[in-house]
Homo-oligomer: A and B are copies of this chain.
């Protein structure tokens, strides 16, 4: 088992940030050829998934998450804590904090248009997000 933690810096709510670069590098460093790479974001207002990394579809995803948790709704969380993050927690819980991808030939084996992304869902901009990356499997 090989493990590294890395940071992702977001600018604003709704940022969808490709983390293919750091994940590919950690898998390379692990020397695992065939195995699995597990990712986990240690925050309740961020999430991980895969998507085609194209500006249009990233905007479409943002809008879709706002259908589930609209900006203008009354959130019990906001009333209680006054931090405006009700919608952020809800979107993060639905998408989820974890992702496991096969490692094939020493690389995370996503499809051609499929990228691993971190969703910044917090209303407060400019956050540092911690992701733990764990690689298991057989070396070359």
Contact = CB atoms under 8 A, between A and B. Distances in A.
Interface of A: 1, 3, 34-36, 38, 40-44, 49-52, 54-57, 59-61, 63-65, 67-69, 73, 75-81, 86-87, 89-90, 92-102, 104, 109-111, 113-114, 117, 130, 132, 134, 136-138
Chief secondary structure at chain A's binding surface: mixed
Contact of A38 (B55, B78, B93, B102): B102
Given A55-B76, A98-B101, A99-B98, A90 B44 contact: no
Nearest to A119: B93
Given A57-B90, A98-B100, A132-B102, A42 B114 contact: yes
Given A61-B93, A94-B95, 5 more contacts: A44-B114, A50-B93, A51-B92, A57-B76, A60-B69
Given A60-B77, A93-B61, A110 B42 contact: yes
